[in-house]
Chain A
Amino acid sequence: MSGAPDPEALARAVAGTVGDGSVVDLRRLSGGASRETWSFDLVDAGGARRGFVLRRDPGEHVGDSDRSTEYQLIQAAAAAGVAVPRVLTLLRPEDGLGRGFVMDRIEGETIPRRILRDDAYADARPRLAAQCGEIAARIHAIAPSSLPDLPGLDAAAQIEQYRTLIDTFGEPHPAFELGLRWLAERVPPPPARPELVHGDFRNGNFIVGPDGIRAVLDWELAHVGDPIEDLGWLCVKSWRFGVADRLVGGFGSVPDLLAAYEGAGGRTVDEATLRFWVGLGTLKWGVICIGQAFTHLNGLVRSVELATLGRRVAETEWDLLQILDGGW
C-alpha cells in the first residue's frame, strides 16, 4: 500500500456516497508519520468540484485497528455538536485502497507552527484555549453507552502500560523510572463513571481558521477513562511547539481552558490533577517516540524521520523532570 492511491479506484470507492466524478489534484498532506492523509477534489460531469480528504493506514500493519469504530465515533461527535469533518465513505476491502475513510475537506490550518505564528490566526489564538475547553466538555458529555465498544484505559492502567512498554524496548530510562514512581504515588481517584476520552486532543489535531477551531481530527486513540487526560495531553510541552510559556497548546492559558471547560459542563479540575495528567502525557509521548524509533530499527518502516524521534526522547525526559520539580 505504498505510493499514491489509484485515482480511479478512489473515484469508484466514493461514487456510492458522494456521486460520480473524476479525482483530480490528489496530493499527500504533510504530517502523520504513522498514517497517510491525502487531499483530492472530485469533479462531476457538470464540472462542479468538491474537496475531500482520504485517511488511510500505510503499509502492512501489525495489529488490527478498526477504522469503522473511528467512523462511528466521528458521527457521534458531530451529533453532540463537536466540530468534526463529515465522514462520507468507509473504505471496503474490495476498494483496494487499504483501510481508512473519506471525509469532507475543511479548509484551514493544522500545522501547529503556522497556527502559533502566522498573522492570519493572530485574532483566533487568544480564543483557542477557551474553545478547547468548550469542545472537550462536549466530547466528554457523549455517553460511552451510545458508542461502539471502546477500550477502557484509566490512569493506573496507562502507567502499567507504559512501564511494560519501556521494558519491551529494553533501553534504560532512569528519568522515566523517576516519573513512573511519581505518577504511581499520585493517581487521581477515577471518575464516578468513566467518560469518553478523545485520546489525542492537542494542537496539530485541530483545523484552525481565522475564526478559531473548525474541526477536531484524529479520533483513532479514543477510549473510555478519565476525561482530564485530554486536558493534560493538550498542555504537554511538546504540543506547545516552541511557545513554552503558553501552556495550552502554545496558544493559551490554563485558567482560560479550565474556566471554559467548567462553564460548558466539565468538572472542576485542580492543579495537582492537571499536573498528574500533563506528567503522564509527557511520559506517554516519550514512550511513543521510543516506539517510533523502534518501528524504524525493527525494519517495520524504515524512515529517517522515525529514527530521529528516538533522539527526541530526551526532550520528554527533561520536560517530565521539570514537572516533577513543580515546573510546567
Chain B
Amino acid sequence: MTQDRPTAAELVRAVREFLEGDVMAATEGRVQFHTRVAVNALGMIERELTDGPGFVAAERERAAAILEHDISGHAGDARDLEIELAAAIRNGSLDDRLDAVRDHVRATVREKLLVANPGYLPPDPSA
C-alpha cells in the first residue's frame, strides 16, 4: 500500500535538517564531526531515493548491451551484470570492445557520484 506523506525522501530530509540545525548547534568536536558525516549520508539517501532507480535502469541497459544479454522480459539485476562485467574485464573477454566498456564504466561511476557526492564531478558541459 502507498504510505502517507511524508515520502521516504521527505522523511530523510526532515531528519537531515534536524541534524544540520539543532544537533550541529548543540554539539562540538567529534560528535559534531560525526553529525556532519551523518548529514552527508542522509543527503546521499535523499538523492538515491530520487535518482537511484533511473540510474540503475540506465546502468542495466548499458551493461546488458556490452555483455550482449537479452534482459527484456526478465529482471536482470544490475549488480549481477556488474559482477559479470568486472570478471570479463579481468579475463580479457571484452578486450575487443574496451572503448565501450570504458564509456559504460565512466558513466556508472559518474552516476554513483551524482548520488554520493555531486560536488566531486566537474561541471557537466551538456547541462
Chain A residues proximal to chain B, CB less than 8 Å: 28, 30, 172-178, 180-181, 303-305, 307-308, 311-312, 314-315, 317-318, 321, 324
Contacts and interface: CB of A to CB of B under 8 A. Distances in A.
Interface stretch (B6-14, B68-76, B82-90): B82-90
Contacts of B33: 30, 305
B116 interface: yes
B86 A305 contact: no
B34 to A, nearest CB: 6
A305 B104 CA distance: 30
A318 B101 CA distance: 14
A308 B41 CA distance: 7
A305 B105 contact: no
B86 to A, nearest CB: 4
Interface string B94-127: 0000000110111011101101110011000000
A305 B102 contact: no
Closest 6 CB pairs of A and B: A314-B112, A172-B82, A177-B89, A311-B116, A172-B86, A172-B83
A315 B113 contact: yes
B117 A174 contact: no
23 contacts: A30-B30, A30-B33, A172-B82, A174-B82, A174-B105, A174-B108, A177-B89, A180-B90, A181-B90, A304-B34, A305-B33, A308-B37, A311-B41, A311-B112, A311-B115, A311-B117, A314-B112, A315-B116, A317-B109, A317-B112, A318-B113, A318-B120, A321-B109
A321 B90 contact: no
A181 B86 CA distance: 11
Contacts of B89: 174, 177-178, 181
Contacts of A178: 89, 101-102, 105
Contacts, number: 74
Contacts of B38: 304
* A interface majority secondary structure: helix
Contacts of A172: 79, 82-83, 85-86
Nearest to A311: B116
B41 A314 contact: no
B106 A314 contact: no
B44 interface: yes
A147 to B, nearest CB: 35
A180 B87 CA distance: 12
Contacts of B110: 318
Nearest to B83: A172
With most chain B CB atoms within 10 A of its CB, the pick from A172, A308, A312, A315 is: A172
B41 A307 contact: yes
Contact of A314 (B29, B37, B83, B109): B109
A303 B101 CA distance: 35
Given A172-B83, A178-B89, A315-B113, A321 B105 contact: yes
Given A178-B101, A321-B105, A305 B34 contact: yes
B61 to A, nearest CB: 15
A304 B106 contact: no
Contact of B116 (A176, A307, A312): A312
A312 B37 contact: no
Which of B82, B101, B105 has the most C-beta atoms of chain A within 10 angstroms of its own C-beta? B105
A40 B116 CA distance: 37
B36 to A, nearest CB: 10
Given A308-B41, A314-B113, 14 more contacts: A174-B89, A174-B101, A174-B105, A175-B109, A177-B90, A178-B102, A303-B34, A304-B37, A304-B38, A307-B41, A311-B115, A311-B116, A314-B116, A321-B106
A177 B30 CA distance: 36
A28 B116 contact: no
A177 B85 CA distance: 9
A158 B102 CA distance: 23
Nearest to B111: A314
B35 to A, nearest CB: 9
Contacts of B109: 175, 314, 317-318, 321
